[in-house]
A and B are shown apart, each in its own frame.
Chain A
Amino acid sequence: MELNRVVITGRGAVSPFGRGVDTLVENIWQGRSAVRKMDEWTTIQGLKSLIAAPVPDFDCKGLLPRNLRRTMGPMALYATIAAREAAEDANLDQELLASGRTGVAIGSTTGSPHAYQDFYESFLPEMAMEQIKSGEFFKMMGHSCSANVCLTLGIQGEQWAPASACTSSAHAIGLGYLLIRMGRQQIMLCGGSEEVHPTVTGVFDLIKAASCRNDEATRTPRPFDRDRDGVVCGGGSGMLVLEDYLSAKNRGARIYAEIIGFGNVNDHEHIANPHEKAMARAMLNGMQEAGVTPEEIDYVNAHATGTVQGDPAEAAAIDHVLGKTTPVSSLKGHIGHTLGAAGSLEMVILLEMLERQEIVPTLNLENIDPACRAINLVQNRVGYSLHTVIKNNFALGGVNASLVLRRAVS
């Protein structure tokens, strides 16, 4: 069976910097941090991490009609706006979107935490359903983002919603790649979405994995840095249009990159601890599928969230697979850890790096931790010949995903 080649032809983003790919890219290239002190969280008992990178508030009434918004929590709203931008960027007309040949794969950790809060605030005091609005369930369900995107854009192809916490959107991209590769779909809108909520940060806080640098918000998280102290949660949505190469060529679409490999492996040793051998296997599987050698990998966009355990494990895995010279950086210092959106939102930026032939350094990396020093960590923005790159994403629960991308399409 001959497999199709899969390329990326559109990008969309809602990020902690605001709406749109241009806004995200501009702020990243300026070296800015979107992390801020969450003063509204100071009354929450037991929450020690009071920082996050939320999407700035915006008025959505003019963007989407009420009958669409009524079933959207913040994450579905972000996903829908990002998906629309990606579809426009790829010049997908309504006929193509509704053809049944275009599908959707959009992941998130859970449904909307704000919707859960609203539901249980109403339900729990009297154990009563009477005041609960009809839209609440549609905001809470695990496929809220994908369902609302399909409804808004008139998608009639396959709908998928991979939920694997911090690898949700990496899985969505991997799944879209597989579906197009085997010819089930011509085009896939793929990505993830997430919203900042104190209970989400609280979960990381609980397991001692959240940053508590509350008084220097823009100096954390600090991936690979000696003084890192954990994750800072972010919100937003990254969306990519994946397309069969021949379809893209026939349409005259702009091609950002080709996806040439997808490694996706589990480790079974611990539900929460990272596992460097599994990380290495994910990269190796992706490279094997892509048919590339370690010498051909020009750059790794690391998952590196700034946790004490995760960063050295990833550095060791990269060292094992690629050696000490391949440039590596993480984008978590700029936008925090956007969890289910991280894979796709960071890939939007990675595509810009491929376009500009520049590597964005890790923000807040000032003193490289000796435990991470084995690899080539980029600390200044540098021009670089980027052709074949790896995007890593790992998740609690033992999930390890690596996507391999190639810039030029011959």
Chain B
Amino acid sequence: MMSEEELRQKVVEVLAEEFELDPDIMTPDATLYDDLGLDSLDAVDMVVVLEKTFKMKLTDETALRSIRTMEDLFQFLLKLQPRA
């Protein structure tokens, strides 16, 4: 079972590697599109990377589309984590 802090660190780690980003700018309030420079193709790849990392399917398209910031992403993934 992954703690919330571990999940946040893992998300930053894998997305920093995938999108060649500086982890320091991947703060909770950073927006994926404007601040981190990602686009619609990257959003597709982000799901692929996260599904592989956390070994789960991210199928809620509506919820995925509403993600704007890193914090939105953390909260989206935390809700999918099994409770201890």
**CB < 8 Å: which of A61, A66, A67, A133 contacts B48?**
A133
Residues in chain A near residue B20, CB distance under 8 A: 61, 66
CA distance A179 to B21 in the complex (A): 42
A269 within 8 Å of B by Cβ?
no
Q: Let me know if A134 and B52 touch, CB within 8 A.
A: no
**CB < 8 Å: which of B37, B39, B42, B48 contacts A130?**
B48
Minimum CB–CB distance from A125 to chain B (whole Å) comes to 15
B38-58 contact mask (Cβ, 8 Å, vs A): 1 or 0 = 010110110010011000010
A153 within 8 Å of B by Cβ?
no
A363-374 contact mask (Cβ, 8 Å, vs B): 1 or 0 = 000000000000
Residues in chain A near residue B57, CB distance under 8 A: 130
Q: Let me know if A67 and B39 touch, CB within 8 A.
A: yes
Residues in chain B near residue A130, CB distance under 8 A: 48, 51, 57
Minimum CB–CB distance from B15 to chain A (whole Å) comes to 12
| CB contact list, A54-96 vs B, under 8 A | 61, 66-67, 70
CA distance A135 to B51 in the complex (A): 17
A348-371 contact mask (Cβ, 8 Å, vs B): 1 or 0 = 000000000000000000000000
Q: Let me know if B51 and A134 touch, CB within 8 A.
A: no
Residues in chain A near residue B51, CB distance under 8 A: 130-131
Minimum CB–CB distance from A348 to chain B (whole Å) comes to 32
A272 within 8 Å of B by Cβ?
no
CA distance A67 to B42 in the complex (A): 9
- Taking residues whose C-beta sits less than 8 angstroms from the other chain, chain B's interface range is 10 to 19
Q: Let me know if A132 and B48 touch, CB within 8 A.
A: yes
B33 within 8 Å of A by Cβ?
no
Q: Main SS of the interface on chain B?
A: helix
Residue of B nearest to A65 (CB): B20
CA distance A201 to B76 in the complex (A): 48
Residues in chain A near residue B19, CB distance under 8 A: 66
Minimum CB–CB distance from A37 to chain B (whole Å) comes to 34
B50-71 contact mask (Cβ, 8 Å, vs A): 1 or 0 = 0110000100000000000000
Chain A CB within 10 Å — which of B19, B45, B51 has the most? B45
Residue of B nearest to A136 (CB): B45
Minimum CB–CB distance from A330 to chain B (whole Å) comes to 42
**Do A135 and B41 form a contact, CB below 8 Å, given A61-B20, A66-B20?**
yes
Minimum CB–CB distance from B43 to chain A (whole Å) comes to 8
Q: Let me know if B39 and A131 touch, CB within 8 A.
A: no
Q: Let me know if A70 and B41 touch, CB within 8 A.
A: yes
CA distance A132 to B48 in the complex (A): 7
Chain B CB within 10 Å — which of A61, A67, A131 has the most? A67
| CB contact list, B1-55 vs A, under 8 A | 19-20, 37, 39, 41-42, 44-45, 48, 51-52
Q: Let me know if B45 and A131 touch, CB within 8 A.
A: no
Q: Let me know if B44 and A134 touch, CB within 8 A.
A: yes
CA distance A362 to B9 in the complex (A): 59
Residues in chain A near residue B44, CB distance under 8 A: 133-134
CA distance A304 to B67 in the complex (A): 58
| CB contact list, A32-64 vs B, under 8 A | 61
Residues in chain B near residue A66, CB distance under 8 A: 19-20
CA distance A336 to B59 in the complex (A): 49
CA distance A66 to B39 in the complex (A): 12
Residue of B nearest to A122 (CB): B48
Residues in chain B near residue A131, CB distance under 8 A: 48, 51-52
Residues in chain B near residue A134, CB distance under 8 A: 41-42, 44-45
Residue of B nearest to A71 (CB): B41
Minimum CB–CB distance from B46 to chain A (whole Å) comes to 10
CA distance A135 to B52 in the complex (A): 17
CA distance A67 to B44 in the complex (A): 14
CA distance A70 to B57 in the complex (A): 23
| CB contact list, A122-154 vs B, under 8 A | 130-135
Minimum CB–CB distance from A332 to chain B (whole Å) comes to 38
20 new A-B contacts, CB < 8 A, other than A133-B45, A134-B41, are A66-B19, A66-B20, A67-B37, A67-B39, A67-B42, A70-B41, A70-B45, A130-B48, A130-B51, A130-B57, A131-B48, A131-B51, A131-B52, A132-B48, A133-B44, A134-B42, A134-B44, A134-B45, A135-B41, A135-B45
16 contacts between A and B (CB under 8 A): A61-B20, A66-B20, A67-B37, A67-B39, A67-B42, A70-B41, A70-B45, A130-B51, A130-B57, A131-B51, A133-B44, A133-B45, A134-B42, A134-B44, A134-B45, A135-B41
Q: 4 tightest CB-CB pairs across the interface, nearest first? A: A134-B44, A134-B41, A66-B20, A133-B45
